[in-house]
Amino acid sequence: MRNLTLLTDLYQLTMLNGYFEKNIHEDIVVFDMFFRKNACNGGYTIVCGIDQFVDYINNLHFSDEDLEYLKSLNLFSDKFLEFLKDFKFTGDIYAVPEGTVMFPNEPIVTVKAPLYQAQLIETALLTIVNFQSLIASKASRVCFAAQGDPVFEFGLRRAQGPDAGTYGARAAVIGGCSATANVLAGKMFDIPVIGTHAHSWVQKFDTELEAFQAYSDIYPDKCLLLVDTYNVLESGIPNAIKVFDEISKKGYKPLGIRIDSGDLEYLSKEAKKILDKAGYTDLRITASNDLDEYTISNLKSEGATINSWGVGTKLITSADSPSLGGVYKLAASYKGDILEPKIKVSEDPEKINNPGYKKVVRIYNENNKAEADLIMLHDEKIDDTNPLTVFHQTYTWKTKTFRKYKIRELLEPLYLNGECQYNRRSVLEIKDYVKSELNTIWTQYKRILNPQVYKVDLSQNLWDLKKNLIDSKKFL
């Protein structure tokens, strides 16, 4: 397991040093991680990367080499560096289960810990969870566009480095992809891997037919042929059919073809006609070539006969929306046993955080469909035997009352007093959980374009606290 303790911004360490020098480093504080806008301009975000965040916390310590490097920067006192020798996380962390569908401004991770510990983990938490949540959400959108067809993650060669390619593949499968081309990800996370051959295989042989025959000799029971090296309709498909006929006579069932260029709508329709005429009516027609949810939606609407999809660059880089803006904000600080809520005020209303130590409750109707989320102070309770009324954070006259409903608290303990409470699940188990989560979300929130905005409201107590803090201007 890698030691990522120095995977942080320098200002985290200069602040730690300052807290230490001012003797406030042991003050207990509360930080929230949340995002202000959904990933990929969508209607929801799938939280991903909690597993790797737990690995980070479990291995959080300053090695002798780390301390020597920090000393060489001439920024920190020997006393402070000596203090870091015994660094160990001792606080509480709550997080939503990995794979949970979440919405803007909701805490997805809450940290209650001594100030120096809570501050240090900010950067690593953000880089781990932001990236994987982005890719899981992008994959979910791509799979939604594919309308149940299998989607394969093909992005490793275009990813921003090995870690992005490997952990991105993990996130893509969690988000809904059926398999990945990334063999290392397959080994590390026990997820399905997929792949056949490239154009170079076809080019190496004297003829396309010879290349297809050679491949079918080696993999007769896994024969899926790339047919666009020269000409899809005039040579690729006819040569593939010759090979399919040969292996069929030997008792093997061909899998299908892949098209990686050209007019995918037209070529798929024409390929389907030729294959059907030859008796191959149920083969897989896989398309690749810079696909994303928008392209797939268009191809589906145009009646393309593609029934599986290889999605690479635009998935692994989330090309149209290349970052999730998750942030980590101080929400409260303790003076002794007294909790003091903290707020960041901005001329941009979106950047005003919700103060205090909080939790998130999801409200479901009697059919187990999510209707709204309520951000509450951590000690508030809901009596679900009584009607529950929520109101819009800004347009407070907009209200909705629930009478037949159930609630679920979303944040669960990862660490209590520094002890790990996390129950690790496999990637495929998390993927199944994502599927169940998405089944609770109405279709209008999952639309590729112009999704409906999901209701995320504040409890009356939290709304009053936030308003009073802003009005009092005690922070000035």
d(Cα 178, Cα 292) in Å, to the nearest integer? 15
Strand residues in 221-317 grouped as ranges (E): 224-226, 256-259, 284-287, 308-311
Q: CATH no. for residue 251?
A: 3.20.20.70
Average the pLDDT over 159-181 and give the result.
Answer: 98
Burial of 458 (0-12, 13-18, 19+ CB in 10 A): buried
State mean pLDDT over 46-74. 98
Q: Is the pLDDT of residue 433 over 60?
A: yes
Q: Which pLDDT tens digit goes with each residue over 291-347?
A: 999 999 999 999 999 999 999 999 999 999 999 999 999 999 999 899 999 998 887
**Residue type at 435 in one-letter notation:** K
Q: Tell me if 256 is assigned to some domain.
A: yes
Element (H, E) at 300: helix 293-301
For residue 88, being part of any structural domain is answered with no
Secondary structure (3-state) at 165: helix
pLDDT band at 1 (very low <50, low <70, confident <90, very high): confident
Is the residue at 140 inside a domain?
yes
Average pLDDT, the chain: 97
Q: Which of 180, 204, 174 is nearest to 192 (CA)?
A: 180
Residue 97 lies in a domain: no
Q: Is residue 312 part of a domain?
A: yes
Burial environment of residue 86 by CB neighbours within 10 A (0 to 12, 13 to 18, 19 or more): exposed
Distance, in Å, from the CA atom of 272 to the CA atom of 281, rounded to the nearest integer, reads 8
By CB neighbour count within 10 A (0-12 exposed, 13-18 middle, 19+ buried), where does 420 fall? middle
Q: Which of 107, 117, 108 is nearest to 86 (CA)?
A: 117
Distance CA 79, CA 383 (A): 52
**279 within 8 A of 260, measured Cβ to Cβ:** no
- Give a yes or no: residue 404 inside a domain: no
In a domain, 156, yes or no: yes
Rounded CA separation 342/355 (Å): 5
Phi/psi at 308 (nearest 5 deg)?
-155, 155
Question: Can you give the residue range of the structural domain that contains 258?
Answer: 136-316
The count of domains in the chain is: 1
Burial letters 194-225, b for 16+ CB under 10 A, else e: bebbeeebbeeeeebbebbbbbbeeebeebbb
pLDDT band at 474 (very low <50, low <70, confident <90, very high): low
- Give the model's pLDDT for residue 79: 97
User: Mean pLDDT across the stretch 135-155?
Assistant: 98
In a domain? residue 457: no
pTM of the model: 0.97
What are the structure tokens assigned to 252, written together? 């093997």
Q: Tally Cβ neighbours within 10 Å of residue 121.
A: 25
Residue 476: pLDDT over 60: no
Determine the 3-state secondary structure of 14 from DSSP: helix
Report the percentage of the chain scoring pLDDT > 90.
95
